[in-house]
Chains A and B, each alone.
Chain A
Amino acid sequence: MEHPYLLLTSLFGMLGMEEWAAAHPHVTYMWLAMIILIFFGWIAGKSVSMVPKTAQNVFEVLISGLEEFMVTVTGDEGRKSYPLVLTIFLFVLLGNLMGLVPAFFPPTANINTTLALALIAVLWSHVVGVQRHGIKYIKHFLGPVPAMIPLFFPIEVIGHTARVLSLTFRLFGNMAGHELVVGILLGLGGMFLAPLPVMALGAFVALVQAFVFFLLSTMYIAGAIEESH
């Protein structure tokens, strides 16, 4: 869906990079999301005190709540993967919510962004598995019975590859579909408020999809940590 007007594209146009920015809105808006996340992280971490105030309070509730949740899924060993998974969650959430602001483009509505996130999440789960089990991690791919290795190995490899595919397309499809529906309703309805119900649904979908991405990466890490049987 082509956007009629994008704020950052015209900002980059002032610097003489109009053509490049128009072709890569997901890159420029990803930079914006990174700037916002780094800024709020800096705000929250700047004055850490025992009695939390405003920004620190919000971040503490979010971070400790999600950490509790992750530890219940992965066990205590998953705690060191938490910063990565939380960063993915916050980035995806912010990227999804950007779609609701006029003149903004959600970076997660581009397949390149979601593919990068999914590759990082899945590859990190394998890194965790290799760190935890060493060479024995290969047993996760070999199935329960040695005689059935030729059958199980391709299936497991395809299954692990499909994880990247499903993470990518779930997030991309949801956000691109949302953009498309808003655009079509605006074009067909003609009224300014016509896409409003869909945008309300979009705020909900943004949160749910960010959480699903977080939960699935957590579960992949949990699957890599547990013993093969």
Chain B
Amino acid sequence: MEFLVGSVWAAGLAIGIAAFGCGIGQGLGLAGAMSGISRNPEAAGKIQVNMLIGLAMIESLCIYALVVSLILMYAHPALKGAIAAAAGH
């Protein structure tokens, strides 16, 4: 049972912390792009494309954390034994 509680806690914390950092990173990137567009509206198209690519790259860090938390909750190697042990009680 402790294993299941621990892995659910870890999954929640992992995605929370990752989303925190990703939010700050994406906000900084977005702020830069917005001030660039407001200074030079003609460059909006080019800035938008690059900004989207950059945001997707930053977001992938958060996605890694999502993958880790999915593994912790659904695909951890020791999960099956822990569930069987918890159900046995």
Interface residues of A (CB under 8 A from B): 166, 169-170, 172-174, 176-177, 180, 208-209, 211-212, 215
Q: How many A-B contacts are there with CB distance less than 8 Å? A: 34
Q: B56-87: which have CB < 8 Å to A?
A: 56-57, 59-60, 63-64, 66-67, 70
Bound Cα distance A226, B51 (Å): 25
Given known A208-B52, A208-B56, contact A170–B63 (CB-CB < 8 A): yes
B44 adjacent to chain A (CB < 8 Å): no
Given known A176-B70, A180-B70, contact A169–B63 (CB-CB < 8 A): yes
- B52 (CB) vs chain A CBs: closest residue: A208
> Given the complex, which residues of A lie within 8 Å of B43, measured CB to CB?
none
Q: Is A173 a contact partner of B53 (Cβ separation < 8 A)?
A: no
Provide the B6-33 mask, 1 if CB < 8 A to any CB of A, else 0: 0000000000000000000000000000
Partner of A209, one of B56, B64, B66, B70: B56
> Given the complex, which residues of B lie within 8 Å of A169, measured CB to CB?
60, 63-64, 67
- A215 (CB) vs chain B CBs: closest residue: B53
> Given the complex, which residues of B lie within 8 Å of A212, measured CB to CB?
53, 56-57, 60
**7 nearest interchain CB pairs?**
A173-B63, A170-B60, A173-B67, A212-B56, A208-B56, A177-B66, A173-B66
> Given the complex, which residues of B lie within 8 Å of A172, measured CB to CB?
67
CB distance from B71 to the nearest CB of A (A): 10
CB distance from A129 to the nearest CB of B (A): 23
Task: Tell me which of B53, B56, B59, B70 has the highest count of chain A C-beta atoms within 10 A of its own C-beta.
Answer: B56
> Given the complex, which residues of A lie within 8 Å of B66, measured CB to CB?
173, 177
- B49 (CB) vs chain A CBs: closest residue: A211
> Given the complex, which residues of B lie within 8 Å of A211, measured CB to CB?
53, 56
CB distance from A70 to the nearest CB of B (A): 14
Task: Tell me which of A173, A177, A209 has the highest count of chain B C-beta atoms within 10 A of its own C-beta.
Answer: A173
> Given the complex, which residues of A lie within 8 Å of B64, measured CB to CB?
169-170, 173
> Given the complex, which residues of B lie within 8 Å of A174, measured CB to CB?
59-60, 63
CB distance from B35 to the nearest CB of A (A): 22
> Given the complex, which residues of A lie within 8 Å of B53, measured CB to CB?
208, 211-212, 215
Bound Cα distance A170, B53 (Å): 13
- B62 (CB) vs chain A CBs: closest residue: A173
Bound Cα distance A180, B69 (Å): 13
- B55 (CB) vs chain A CBs: closest residue: A208
Bound Cα distance A166, B64 (Å): 8
CB distance from A162 to the nearest CB of B (A): 11
Bound Cα distance A176, B74 (Å): 13
Q: Is B52 a contact partner of A173 (Cβ separation < 8 A)?
A: no
> Given the complex, which residues of B lie within 8 Å of A180, measured CB to CB?
70
Bound Cα distance A174, B60 (Å): 8
> Given the complex, which residues of B lie within 8 Å of A177, measured CB to CB?
63, 66, 70
Q: List 20 other contacts, CB 8 Å, given A177-B66, A209-B56.
A: A166-B60, A169-B63, A169-B64, A169-B67, A172-B67, A173-B60, A173-B66, A173-B67, A174-B60, A174-B63, A177-B63, A177-B70, A180-B70, A208-B53, A208-B56, A211-B53, A212-B53, A212-B56, A212-B57, A215-B53
